[in-house]
A and B are shown apart, each in its own frame.
Chain A
Amino acid sequence: MSQEHNMRRVTAIRNGTVIDHIPSGQAMRVLEMLNMNKTTSVPVSMVMNVPSKKMGTKDIIKVEDRELTQDELNRLALVAPEAHVAIIRAYSVAEKMTIQIGEEVTNVVRCTFSNCITTNLREPLAHRLRVMGREPLVLRCHYCGRPQDLEKLIGNLL
């Protein structure tokens, strides 16, 4: 099946954001990480497990009438670090963005270690995970220093 066919599964959007090359099965998590699983009011389309030359299969998300910011996209580094993002204006790609992971992942997830000081959610300082390695992604809590299990970490979204 062609790329074109994938895109025709859902209609082209006029304005908004397309997130392509999401690892298969991660689209729901991507929506969760963007806090769009419950609270969004704009139309969101999602396809899952469609063929991809590069990845075998992949997921795609289209968000209408909303341009995601770089900060929002960077939250996706934990589940879809290779995702391609396009900002669509008047049916054409106006801007291409990639997910960038800096030195730290701040206030996206909280440390998975049960005895970390940050488990008290009333503590007001930012939840900070230091990026120790990129491929694969290796994160450690800034406070307790514990390495993070990425699978478990995704369950700790803020």
Chain B
Amino acid sequence: MAGLITMDDLSNDEIQSILEDAERLLPVAEGKIYLPLLQGKILGNLFFEPSTRTRMSFETAMKRLGGDVVNLGDVKTSSVVKGETLFDTIQMVDGYTDIIAMRHPRQGAAQYAQDAARVPILNGGDGAGHHPTQTMLDLFTIKQAHGRLDGLKVILAGDLRYGRTVHSLSHALTRFGCELIFASPKLLRMPAEIVEDLTAHGANVVETEDLLSSLEEADVVYMTRIQKERFADEDEYTKVAGAYKLHASNLEGTKEDMIIMHPLPRVDEIHPSVDQTRHARYFQQAFNGVVARMALLCRLLGVKVPEDISPAGGEL
């Protein structure tokens, strides 16, 4: 069965239909209704590098739907440290589970795993490559706020070079005709091949080093963390990172319904003063990880989400 490796694995119609499933599953994700659609199914969580939200939200999503989860555990104590290939690890977990969620430090690992597996693979991040389940929850969050995905003006800011979430998201937003503004330091610009791909698909892309001057026109501001270790020296980092910090005082004059998103964890690129504004959406976004992944697990396991999820009989 096919998994979800990049956003190219889903058509626009499929994206919309999964987002509609997610919308209907909200009361299940909130724990208001118990709906064991995935009873008897087992998810294998294979996280070869650290993850908090992705791993926990996959686990929560599976359990809210009555399914179960097995974990690879700490890579340091698994057979990976003994030199097991990804191919062999996948052969084993493939036999234990019905679906696999995977994060791996090497780019292309998810496609590799899919080629080696019979069960569907959900790519939870492969190196600086793709992170499509994050994109699905990002799209869900954007649609929740704006009621649509098409024709929005979206700023992606911070580390666009190494940030896999912005790579997958920019591809998806392009497909819905969004206008993209990439605001980043020169060193951390969106990789040229991605910009080429996006423009070849008709994207309207503006690249800038100036985040603040574009804020007023934006419908969505998607912030990412700039990591210190990307810079040769700390002074350079401090100088550059300062230009990509949002404070509540920067938000005057922005659109009423503009939302600020962040894949989290944040360090200091979004000041806590922003948390209290109507624009802050990042904690909601993190919660949406559960509902988006619930919808994806159902879709990839071939389980139909009922049209009517009423509390009758299932209310807790």
Interchain residue pairs A-B with the least CB separation, the first 3: A143-B108, A144-B108, A144-B107
23 contacts between A and B (CB under 8 A): A115-B106, A115-B107, A116-B106, A116-B107, A117-B109, A117-B111, A117-B126, A119-B106, A120-B85, A122-B85, A124-B87, A125-B112, A125-B116, A142-B108, A143-B112, A143-B115, A144-B111, A144-B129, A145-B6, A145-B108, A146-B107, A146-B193, A147-B193
**A146–B86 alpha-carbon span in the complex (Å):** 20
Interface size class of A (residues with CB under 8 A): 10 to 19
Q: How far is the CA of A156 from the CA of B173 in the complex (A)?
A: 35
* CB of B127 closer than 8 Å to a CB of A: yes
The answer to whether A143 and B111 touch (CB under 8 A), given A115-B128, A116-B106, A119-B106, is yes
- Segment 7-34 of A: residues with Cβ below 8 Å from B: none
* A144-B130 Cα distance, complex, nearest whole Å: 9
Residues of A within 8 A of B (CB): 111, 113, 115-120, 122-125, 141-147
A117–B102 alpha-carbon span in the complex (Å): 14
Residues of A within 8 A of B108 (CB): 111, 116-118, 141-145
In the complex, the answer to whether B87 meets A125 with C-beta atoms within 8 Å is yes
Which residues of chain A are within 8 angstroms of B126 by Cβ–Cβ distance? 117, 144
Question: In the bound complex, what is the Cα–Cα distance between A123 and B90 (angstroms)?
Answer: 12
- Say whether, besides A115-B127, A143-B112, A145-B6, A124 and B107 are in contact (CB < 8 Å): no
B104 within 8 A of A: yes
| Residues of chain A contacted by B127 (CB below 8 angstroms) | 115, 144
Distance A65 CA – B193 CA, assembled complex (angstroms): 45
Closest beta carbon of chain B to A41's beta carbon, Å: 34
Residues of B within 8 A of A122 (CB): 83, 85
Query: In the bound complex, how far is the Cα of B127 from the Cα of A113, in angstroms?
Result: 12
Evaluate whether A118 and B112 lie within 8 angstroms (CB atoms) in the complex, with A123-B85, A145-B6 already known: yes
Q: Restricting to B26-62, which residues have a CB under 8 Å from any CB of A?
A: none
Which residues of B from 116 to 169 have beta carbons under 8 Å from A?
116, 126-130
* CB proximity of A12 to chain B, nearest CB, Å: 47
B108, B116, B127: which has the most chain A beta carbons within 10 Å?
B108
CB-CB under 8 A from A118, the residues of chain B are 108, 112
Measured CA separation A28–B127 after assembly (Å): 36
